[in-house]
Amino acid sequence: MAEFLAQYVPSWLAYTAVGLVQAALCLVVALASAAVFIWLERKVSARIQDRLGPTRVGGRFGWLQPPADGIKLLCKEDIIPAAADAPLYRIAPYISFCAVFAVFLALPFASGWVALDLNAGAFFVLAVAGLEVFGVILGGYASGSKWSLYGAMRAAAQVISYEIPLALCVVVPVLITGSMNLVEIGDSQKGWFTSWYLFHDPFTFVTFWVYVTCVTASTNRAPFDLPEAESELVAGFLTEYSGWRWVVFFMAEYAAMFVVSGFGAVLFLGGWNGPIPLASLLGLTPENHAILGWLGNLLGMANFITKAVLGVVFMIWLRWTLPRLRIDQVMTTCLKYCVPIASAMLAGVMIWTYLFPKGVIDGVRHSAPVVQQASAQPQSGDHR
């Protein structure tokens, strides 16, 4: 895009413009997703609980409830407790939000539609998404309240622990693809839904559910919402926050839900590849025409967003169904179940891909050449 623009305007201007547009797009997506999911949470939870949820602001479905909430919260007094460490207390919500926002930069919405096409995209997402908790710890500590401190400590213990099985889960699709580039991971699941990594083999199927557990825990969503457990810790790390800063924390949480759902969609659910390869069946590929390819990508983006939203709805559904776990049970789930299962699945996937490098169907059909291939495979080791 920037190269194209640079033919007409000075190249610095072209790059600046493209950079700004991309950043703004990501910010809009981050903010819009937060707003939409807050509305969605209210609606879904209301329906689960036999209520209607917002119905008045902005028409029948209460579309405008999130902006109305936002305006209300903006008008609230920004209270900084006397016992708080004011500078840290102030910046904590922004650290959380920036961390989540930075993930959007590396999240591909369709093949090639990514603000920052990183080679180590999967690793980058893991690294940056893990920083969200830093804002939580900082905010909880700087509030100068014991409840907040409890929330912060729980967040630290929980999120840092869950990063281990989470990383192990992410390694599985990376291993199958042989790349950490998220666009490549997505593209390698092209075709019918059977080529999604979820259905790649039994191990990936299990890995996906471990991933779901881990991201629910690392985004502090119920039943793992211990850092803000309202019946124990009043509101945990959010206890002292009010007004705009509270909104920023809140948006970070909802944007993070979108991020992990989208990330999971890319890793396991084929990303922008729909269950039916509609784009390639209709010929919407860049090989035919640039515009057609663009349309195909648009379809892919719709696919991706649908999957991510469904993931978020699943998390909302969980939250309004399950009671909260206790801190020791959360840690048990992580260390005694998630980590061993994820490790075993990783080993299983390794063996599976070694035995069936071209997928199960091909592998069974040509079982004899597989052995030959397997023995010929590690050329990389020949350098010794």
Partner 1 sequence: MDAINWHSFFFLMCALVACTFAIAVVIASNIVRMACYLVISLAAVAGLFFLAGADFLGAAQLMVYVGGTMVLLVFGVMLTARGPFVSMKTGPAQWLVALMAAGALLFVLVQASFSIPAWAGPLASQPQPATLPATAEQLGYGLLGVRADQLDQRDAVARGGLSGYLLPFEIISVHLVVVLVGAAYLARAKRRVTKLSTNTAGSHKP
Partner 2 sequence: MSTERMQPETVEFDVRTDEMLINMGPQHPSTHGVLRLVLRTDGEVVNEVTPHIGYLHRCAEKIGENLTPRQFLPYTDRLDYLAGISMNLGWALTVEKLLGHKVSEKTRHLRVIVAELSRIASHLVAAGCYGLDLGSFTPFMWTFREREKILDLYEDLCGARLTCSYITVGGVTADVPDGWLKKCEEFLTQFEPVIDDLHALLTNNAIFIQRTAGIGVMSKATALDYGCTGPVLRGSGVDWDLRRDGEPIYTEMYDGYTWRVIAAPEGKYPDDHPYPPVPPETILGDSWHRYFVRMLEVVQSMDLVRQGIEKYSMAAGDVDEPIPLKKKLPKGEAYLETEAPKGQMGFGIVSDGSPVPWRVRVKSSSFCNLSVTPELCQGVLVADIPAIIGSLDLVLGEIDR
How far apart are the C-alpha atoms of 138 and 144, rounded to whole Å? Answer: 11
Q: Does 2 bind partner 2 (CB under 8 A)?
A: no
Q: DSSP secondary structure string, 247-301?
A: HHHHHHHHHHHHHHHHHHHHHHS-TT--SS-HHHHTT-STTT-HHHHHHHHHHHH
Token look-up 């920036």 returns 98
Q: Choose the contact partner of 328 out of partner 2, partner 1, none; CB within 5 to 8 A by kind.
A: partner 2
Which residues, numbered 291-330, are part of the site for partner 1 (CB under 8 A)? none
Q: How far is CA 242 from the centre of its chain?
A: 26
Sign of the torsion angle spanned by Cα atoms 192, 197, 199, 200: positive
- Residue type at position 187: D
Q: Does 336 bind partner 2 (CB under 8 A)?
A: no
Using the minimum distance from each CB to partner 2, give the nearer residue, 79 or 291: 79
Residue in 320, 348, 350, 360 binding partner 2, rule: CB under 8 A? 320
Stretch that binds partner 1, among 116-124, 255-263, 293-301, 319-327 (CB under 8 A): 116-124
Binding mask 230-249 for partner 2 (x = CB under 8 A): xxxxx---------------
Q: Does 380 bind partner 1 (CB under 8 A)?
A: yes
Using the minimum distance from each CB to partner 1, give the nearer residue, 144 or 277: 144
Closest CA to 220 of 295, 127, 306, 151: 151
Which residues, numbered 204-223, are part of the site for partner 1 (CB under 8 A)? none
Instruction: Tell me how far, at minimum, the Cβ of 144 lies from partner 1, in Å.
Output: 6
CA distance readout (Å), 339 to 60, 74, 272, 336: 46, 42, 29, 7
How far apart are the C-alpha atoms of 154 and 237, rounded to whole Å? Answer: 9
Q: Does 329 bind partner 2 (CB under 8 A)?
A: yes
Q: Does 339 bind partner 1 (CB under 8 A)?
A: no
Q: Does 95 bind partner 2 (CB under 8 A)?
A: no
Q: Does 2 bind partner 1 (CB under 8 A)?
A: no
Binding residues with partner 2: total (CB under 8 A): 28
Q: Does 179 bind partner 1 (CB under 8 A)?
A: yes
Cβ count within 10 A of residue 293: 18
Residue in 121, 223, 270, 274 binding partner 2, rule: CB under 8 A? 223
- Crossing angle of helices 86-106 and 243-268, in 10° steps, is 30
Q: Does 153 bind partner 1 (CB under 8 A)?
A: yes
Cβ count within 10 A of residue 358: 13
H helical segments located in 49-145: 65-74, 86-106, 121-129, 132-142
Q: Does 45 bind partner 2 (CB under 8 A)?
A: yes
Instruction: Tell me how far, at minimum, the Cβ of 208 lies from partner 2, in Å.
Output: 21
Q: Which two tokens stand for residue 16?
A: 């600046």
Dmax over CA atoms of the chain, in Å, equals: 74
Q: Does 49 bind partner 2 (CB under 8 A)?
A: yes
Residue in 169, 198, 229, 257 binding partner 2, rule: CB under 8 A? 229
- Residue type at position 362: D
Cβ count within 10 A of residue 234: 17
Instruction: Tell me how far, at minimum, the Cβ of 137 lies from partner 1, in Å.
Output: 6
Using the minimum distance from each CB to partner 2, give the nearer residue, 108 or 151: 151
Q: Does 137 bind partner 1 (CB under 8 A)?
A: yes
Token look-up 């904590």 returns 92
- Please report, as ranges, the residues that interact with partner 2 according to CB under 8 A: 45, 48-51, 146-147, 150, 222-223, 225-226, 229-234, 320-329
- Please report, as ranges, the residues that interact with partner 1 according to CB under 8 A: 10-12, 15-16, 19, 83, 85, 87-88, 118-121, 123-124, 126-128, 130-131, 133-134, 137-138, 141-142, 144, 149, 152-153, 156-157, 160, 163, 178-181, 380-381, 383-384
